[in-house]
């Protein structure tokens, strides 16, 4: 039985995580922290939650656990990661702190020096389908961002293949409101979300852009630049990315689709639709699945990729990573 | 006082039109037809509607009106248009029948021969901001489709300028459910729309594609091909198009933005946001406005264009066209 | 031309008011205040708003206006009312400050002494359909609460008639989110509202209860006590109250329905449906109308009453009151 | 291992049922029928469904199963029940056919003679918390309606106690759209549901009324009549009933609340909140739980009762019944 601790359980990601872990046959949650609600119960915050006491982060008994999940704001996560690693815990970080490997890029996009740059190189970028070989020995895993998970899974077969691409890659992404977090704000007020639809930080302005470009270059050194346009959907959860890639030379949809079906043939959580079909959010919400469609429009390949932002885009993938780290069946607790 | 008749008043477009005309100081609605509800009252269908009797199309007293609005399915609209023109009425057609000028293209996309190909050349494509000079003498006006209105208004300053463009133009559009029509179907069932988001007919598969490419070529003979990806939003109304155009050579956002502010400077219903800002549906729903934002991402210009699909994308623009046709102030009844 | 000022224009009630007044042919808005946004423009807060500068309340030029509308929190409203009355303005207060005529009841429900108890007796309770005779000479009008407007208009014909009632009257009311105000909070977070439905302060716990019982006793000295159960609906706007009244002795639905149709026969903004029919929110949203249905269930009369909480339940009724105060046609600017 | 068949799997109730059974450790689904989609796969209808072939009802291999679940329209269900019972299967009927024990009442409310009146007396009304003793030997179980489940669980402790009640009992219920079924119609069109809220069949007009009154009389021979007002909520799922009961004589909330906590103390799926608190839909959606609150308002007790209409109100309770019938742990597959 794996003993686990959760930092920041009262955010949406933490809550989703504790729900998954509560049903996981090989994990026992030893503690759950919350700065805002320490001293209360998780059921005070979420009526359907497991009945766990919420403790202050400072009192977390790190010595009782094998692994900690960090559902904390960036920078705070890195500090806790250091503490947990020093205590001998494995760390699965759902924040952005260990996704970017270049501290200068981190500083540029997150507005501060990285709190623990010495850890960046050792952190495994936990896009499970790609990181499967690197996870078993890892001490520190950075769970990918929600948008990057949807876009990168959609791009990987294409970037892994030796296909010449031209022009920028465009990812037009749409996300549900849980991606904006639990904090009440004008952005998340029902009156501003309902009956509305809003682009934000479009182009090259969102923090997930450098994360995606970093990984794209790992996969294809000459990958084109990315244009990334997030939009806020009036739904609680789910991300659908519509991705446009222009392929040089002549190509046939069947050949490109074959790259997808082959790469993802054995994947338990990635489903490729028949060519020409596209997923909807209803294909994936409340699951750890990523459903992908490929369509042709002239020289341009259109990839549609849907995930649940809180599960495959956060807590579910974190557990998937943990399963691989601890050499469990990868799907345990996720179906 | 202009005497008007409405064909097909019980669809969403017809209903929106009759609401606008009911407040228009220079128009009197003489009759309103409905095949499904003939013999009933409009208030039986829409509780907030004007209290009009619904008559069968065959009984429409064409001799009593100056202009008819056709909110009919395609093909049916063309047949009624012929009848109305023969009776001496002006015709404002909100269907797709007179938007495409090439009958072969019509046949290809609408699956039948055009019912009145001899009228195609004389029909004015009623994108008001562009058609203003052609409308005063026109007898037959084709109101543009909802998606084309949002995309074409977003593209026009760029295509009108002599700027070299490369690669396809990509319009990633998102529409509210009223665009799918009043007919109950799986597509419009609340259970399939709420909490969901769905791409459909993406790439080069939607009937609005040839309409947009036709107009793009009018404006720029060597316009790049269009990729058009519509998506269904869980909201009642509104369209937001995120449009990606790659400009060859070096360019500055300020210069391109100036093309937009200059072209639309005097427009009563088009608003250009400061560079870098983007509209939301909340900027435009329940208005005849089109709000446009321009943003730069490397070589790519991102244009965001928002309209209310039922007003500027249909009934509002139809009235705007009528105002120009009859030499009224263009904004009458629309503010 | 009536010169008007608005205090607290950036709340939902203030915004709805300024939209109505902007189209009112006999009113000119001289100033609009906002504590949170003073120095900005109203369009910075609401993209579709009239382009008005927002000033600090302390700088409001009371000497330039005939009437002020107070869209302020309770207690703050009373203080501003005193100031405005002293400056010779008429005051239309949309807060709760002058609805209750007994300062002890006010203190009990609002947790503080009334700031201006000497004004309570002179304030006219502005349920327009009832207050029509009292409004023309009034200097201070208290616009009824949103829930009370829906419930009281539903009860008035019954309470005005000499019909014996037994047991409590039960008002089971459901309101859209705008009733909870513009302030971001857990209550209004999209994630807590969407896909949810929540009773709150049910029974005899909501501040609108004493307001309703006060008026009910004005109309029928021995009116039964009220049980009032508000619920939060996942919609932006609208209130529907389902009201249960047990009538002693035998009675026929037709007779009771006649009380309603007779009392409201000439009312421009109250519509009584045929017996057995019930309104929905779609009957009333974005209008100043109250639509009422009456149904029989054994001895119990079920009254359904629907309004738009921001219009007939607040800003629209405020303007309706103003029209009567200033001897304009009551419907001016409201259709 | 229990072998099960599902009739009518493509309705919302059938779909929810197959999802539960797919995770049930002691059940194997042998077949699933659909008249509309026979020959296709369940995943063609619901992308997240188990991958089951859909067969025509006539071809259902009854000899291979121990139990059948009927998710069919009324009348059709009774005919299939006869066939299945004759084949030696146990029958769990989710339609209305075996809920009412008086065939005359059935004929009055369902507009036709009962197809199998001889079975009415032997059918067990499967409100599990009440029927637990009757289920183990039963061959035919009628799963209660969704509204009745929410109302009856809310009333049972009160009706079981010897407390004098006066006046009618009022159940003001609000349901999500899935209760209206999978068939596309004006009622379920997104445009008519979103931003709306609608009473329907209020008073004594809905078919669930006689079902509830029948059971109320089983529990308390002199139970007062019921007034039942259903309303349609713009949410996919969930029912919240606000129930008003007037108790004769003096009483204290603590005493009444104790009736609830005592009766439901050991129940795995019924949760009673502390006195004065009320559940929301978020307490229960996607669970088999019923959460109940009790509040006092003068002489009137207000009971709030929330369930998921598709789970505790249909498929979940059906499985709960099955578990008891087959002497499994009652919670198997339901947590």
Distance of CA D239 to the CA centre of its chain: 11
C150-176 pLDDT tens trace: 999 999 999 999 899 998 999 999 999
Nearest of C82, C76, C83 to residue C60 by alpha carbon: C83
Tell me, what's the pLDDT at C102? 97
Task: Answer whether residue D172 shows pLDDT above 90.
Answer: yes
CATH code given to domain D147-309:
3.30.360.10
Instruction: Quote the minimal CA–CA distance from D270 to chain C in Å.
Output: 18
**pLDDT for the residue numbered B126:** 98
Q: What is the mean pLDDT of chain C?
A: 97
Under the banding of pLDDT at 50, 70 and 90, the label for residue B167 is confident
- Helix/strand/coil percentages in chain B, nearest 5: 35, 25, 40
User: What element of type H or E holds B131?
Assistant: helix B128-131
- In this prediction, residue D106 carries a pLDDT of 97
Q: Is A287 on the interface with D (CB under 8 A)?
A: yes
pLDDT range class, residue A162, cuts 50, 70, 90: confident
Per-residue confidence (pLDDT) for residue C162, from 0 to 100:
85
Mean of the pLDDT values across residues A212-222?
98
**Once rounded to an integer, what is the mean pLDDT over residues C262-290?**
98
On chain B, the residues whose CB falls within 8 A of the CB of C48 are: 282-284, 287
Provide the pLDDT for residue C110. 96
pLDDT at residue C208 above 90?
yes
Query: Chain-wide mean pLDDT for chain A?
Result: 97
Q: Is the pLDDT of residue D21 over 90?
A: yes
| % of chain A with per-residue pLDDT over 70 | 100
Per-residue pLDDT, B143: 98
**Res A106: pLDDT:** 97
User: D-chain residues within 8 Å CB-CB of B46?
Assistant: none
Give the nearest partner residue to C196 out of D196, D280, D298, using CB atoms: D280
At residue B309, the pLDDT reads 98
CB B29 within 8 A of CB B22: yes
CATH superfamily of C2-122: NAD(P)-binding Rossmann-like Domain (3.40.50.720)
Residue B162 pLDDT > 90: no
B135: confidence class by pLDDT, cuts 50, 70, 90: very high
Sorting pLDDT into bands at 50, 70 and 90, what band is C22?
Answer: very high
Give the mean model confidence (pLDDT) for residues A219-239: 98
What angle in degrees, to the nearest 10, is found between the helix axes of A146-160 and A208-219? Answer: 20
DSSP C69-84: EE---TTHHHHHHHHH
pLDDT at B305 (0 to 100): 98
- CA C139 – CA C85 distance, rounded (Å): 8
Question: Is A280 part of the contact surface with chain D (CB cutoff 8 Å)?
Answer: yes
Residue-wise pLDDT for B242-298, tens only, equals: 999 999 999 999 999 999 999 999 999 999 999 999 999 999 999 999 999 999 999
Strand-pairing partners, residue C301, are C245, C296
pLDDT in tens, D250-271: 999 999 999 999 999 999 999 9
The pLDDT of residue C230 is 98
Q: Following DSSP, what letter does each residue of C214-227 receive, concatenated?
A: HHHHHH-TTPPPEE
- Whole-angstrom Cα distance, residue C13 to residue C310? 6
The sign of the CA dihedral C168, C209, C291, D245 is negative
Question: What H or E segment, with its residue span, contains residue D157?
Answer: helix D146-160
Domain ranges of chain D: 2-122, 147-309
CB spacing of A225 vs B304 below 8 angstroms: no
Instruction: For chain B, list the contacting chains (3+ Cβ pairs, <8 Å).
Output: A, C, D
d(CA C305, CA C282): 12
pLDDT in tens, B26-76: 999 999 999 999 999 999 999 999 999 999 999 999 999 999 999 999 999
What angle (nearest 5°) sits at the alpha carbon of residue D128, between those of residues D125 and D129? Answer: 120
User: Is A48 in contact with D282 (Cβ distance < 8 A)?
Assistant: yes
Nearest to B302 among A202, A240, A296 (CB): A202
- Residues of D with Cβ-Cβ distance to B11 under 8 angstroms: none
Q: Pick the residue with more confidence: D7 or C137?
A: D7
How confident is the model over D127-131, as a mean pLDDT? 98
- The answer, yes or no, to whether residue C301 has pLDDT greater than 90, is yes
Considering only the beta carbons, identify the residue of A167, A225, A281 that sits closest to B196: A281
Beta bridge partners of B169: B226
Q: Which residues of D239-251 are buried (b: 16+ CB within 10 A; e: fewer)?
A: bbbbbbbbbeeee
Which chain A residue lies closest to B224 (C-alpha atoms)? A298
In Å, what is the CA distance from B56 to each residue of A56, A102, B21? 72, 71, 20
Q: What is the mean pLDDT of residues C211-221?
A: 98
* C-alpha to C-alpha distance for C311 and C317, rounded to whole angstroms: 6
Q: Are the CB atoms for C67 and C324 separated by under 8 Å?
A: no
Q: What is the mean pLDDT of residues A263-277?
A: 97
pLDDT at B197: 98
Q: Which helix (H) or strand (E) holds B180?
A: none
pLDDT of residue D167: 84
- Position C142 confidence tier, pLDDT thresholds 50, 70, 90: very high
Task: Please indicate if any CB of chain C lies within 8 Å of the CB of B282.
Answer: yes
Q: List, for residues D306-333, the tens digit of each pLDDT value.
A: 999 999 999 999 999 999 999 999 999 9
Please list every residue in chain B whose beta carbon sits closer than 8 Å to the beta carbon of residue A167: 166-167, 246
User: D298-318: b or e for each residue (b if 16 or more CB lie within 10 Å)?
Assistant: ebbbbbbbbbbbbbbbbbbbb
Average of per-residue pLDDT values in chain D: 97
Through-space distance between the first and last CA atoms of chain D, rounded to whole angstroms: 19
The proportion of chain C whose per-residue pLDDT surpasses 90, expressed as a percent, equals 98
CB contact under 8 A, A300 and B168: yes
Average pLDDT over residues C230-239: 98
% of residues, chain D, pLDDT over 90: 98
ipTM of the complex: 0.97
* SS3 state of residue D107: helix
A297 touches B at CB < 8 Å: yes
Strands C27-32 and C2-7: parallel
- Taking CA A94 as the corner, what is the angle to CA A93 and CA A96, rounded to the nearest 5 degrees? 90
**Partners of C172 in the β-ladder:** C229, C242
Judge whether C185 is closer than 8 Å to chain A, CB to CB: yes
CB of A238 within 8 A of CB of A180? Answer: no
Phi/psi region, residue A132 (left: phi>0; alpha: psi -120 to 50; beta: rest), is alpha
Closest to C81 (Cα-Cα) out of C37, C114, C48, C39: C114
Mean pLDDT value of segment C223-251: 97
> Is C290 labeled as catalytic in the residue annotation?
no
- Optimal mutation site among A14, A175, A191, interface C, most CBs of chain C within 10 A: A191
> Shortest Cα distance from D284 to chain C (angstroms)?
10
- Judged by a CB distance cut-off of 8 A, whether residue D133 touches chain B is no
CB-based contact (8 Å) between A47 and chain C?
no
Residue A116: pLDDT band by 50, 70, 90 thresholds? very high
* Residue B195 in contact with partner chain C when CB distance is under 8 A: yes
Q: What is the dihedral of CA A13, A19, A25, A30, to 10 degrees?
A: 80
Does the beta-carbon distance from C12 to A188 stay under 8 Å?
Answer: no
């Amino acid at each position: 039985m794996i003993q686990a601790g959760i930092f920041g359980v009262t955010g949406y990601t933490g809550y989703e995580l504790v729900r998954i872990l509560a049903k996981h046959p090989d994990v026992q949650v030893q503690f759950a922290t919350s700065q805002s609600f320490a001293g209360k119960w998780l059921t005070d915050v979420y009526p359907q939650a497991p009945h766990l006491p919420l403790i202050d982060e400072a009192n977390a008994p790190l010595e009782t656990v094998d692994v900690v999940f960090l559902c904390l704001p960036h920078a705070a996560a890195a500090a806790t990661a250091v503490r947990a690693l020093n205590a001998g815990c494995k760390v699965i970080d759902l924040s952005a702190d260990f996704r970017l490997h270049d501290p200068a890029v981190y500083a540029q996009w997150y507005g501060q020096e990285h709190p623990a740059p010495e850890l960046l190189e050792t952190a495994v970028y936990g896009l499970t389908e790609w990181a499967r070989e690197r996870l078993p020995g890892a001490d520190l895993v950075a769970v990918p961002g929600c948008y990057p998970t949807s876009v990168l899974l959609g791009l990987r077969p294409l970037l892994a293949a030796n296909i010449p691409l031209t022009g920028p890659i465009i990812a037009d992404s749409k996300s549900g409101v849980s991606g904006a977090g639990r904090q009440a704000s004008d952005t998340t007020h029902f009156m501003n979300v309902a009956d509305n639809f809003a682009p934000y930080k479009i182009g090259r302005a969102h923090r997930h852009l450098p994360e995606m470009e970093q990984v794209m270059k790992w996969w294809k050194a000459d990958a084109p630049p990315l244009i990334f346009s997030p939009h806020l959907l009036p739904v609680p959860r789910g991300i659908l990315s519509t991705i446009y890639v222009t392929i040089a030379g002549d190509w046939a949809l069947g050949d490109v689709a074959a790259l997808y079906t082959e790469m993802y043939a054995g994947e338990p959580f990635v489903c490729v639709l028949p060519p020409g079909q596209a997923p909807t959010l209803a294909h994936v919400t409340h699951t750890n699945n990523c459903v992908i469609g490929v369509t042709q429009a002239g020289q341009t390949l259109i990839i549609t990729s849907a995930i649940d932002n809180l599960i495959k885009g956060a807590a579910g993938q974190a557990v998937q990573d943990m399963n691989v780290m601890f050499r469990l069946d990868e799907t345990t607790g996720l179906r």
